[in-house]
Structure 1
Amino acid sequence: MNAREKYQIPNDAVITVAGTVGVGKSTMTKALANALKFKTSFEKVDNNPYLEKFYKDFERWSFHLQVYFLAERFKEQKKIFEFGGGFVQDRSIYEDTGIFAKMHYDKGTMSPTDYETYKNLFDAMVMTPYFPHPNLLIYLEGSLEDVLGRIQERGREMEKQTPISYWEEMHERYSTWIDNFNACPVLRINISDYDIVKEAGSIDTILEKVGRSLNVMTLR
Structure 2
Amino acid sequence: MNHAPYIAVEGPIGAGKTTLASMLADELQLPLVKEIVEENPFLDKFYQDMDDWSFQLEMFFLCNRYKQLEDAVIPKLTQGQSIISDYHIYKNLIFSERTLKGIKRDKYRHIYHVLTDDLPKPNLILYIRADLEVLLERIAKRGRSFEEDISADYLQQLIQDYDAAMTSLAEREPSTTIITINGNEVDFVANPEHFGQIVHRVKECLSQ
Report the TM-score, using the length of structure 1 for normalisation: 0.83
CA contact (8 A) 2:76 2:83 kept: no
1:134 to 108, 112, 122: 122
CA 1:10 to 1:27, structure 2 compared with 1: closer, same or farther past 3 Å? farther
Task: Tell me the distance in 1 between the aligned counterparts of 2:5 and 2:73.
Answer: 10
1:202 and 1:111 mapped to 2: Cα distance?
A: 40
CA RMSD of aligned residues (A): 1.9
Indicate yes or no: 2:41 matched with 1:49.
yes
**In terms of mean alpha carbon deviation, does 195-204 or 65-74 score higher?**
195-204
Equivalent in the alignment of 1:16: 8
Aligned to 2:98: 103
> Would the aligned equivalents of 1:33 and 1:40 in 2 still touch at CA under 8 Å?
yes
SS of equivalent residue, structure 2 residue 192:
coil
Looking at structure 1, the residues matched to 74 and 195 of structure 2 have their Cα atoms a distance apart, in angstroms, of: 25
Measure the CA separation in 2 of the matches of 1:164 and 1:171: 11
Counterpart for residue 89 of structure 1: 85
What does 1:54-203 correspond to in 2, within 5 Å? 54-78=46-70, 79-84=72-77, 85-97=81-93, 99-104=94-99, 110-127=100-117, 130-182=118-170, 183=173, 184-203=176-195
- Cα offset, 1:87, TM superposition: 1.8
Whether the 8 Å contact between 2:48 and 2:149 is mirrored in structure 1 is no
Residue ranges of structure 2 left out of the alignment (5+ in a row): none
TM-score for both structures, normalised by structure 2: 0.87
Aligned to 1:4: none
Matched residue count = 200
Alpha-carbon distance, 1:126 to partner? 1.7
CA distance in 1, matches of 2:194, 2:132: 23
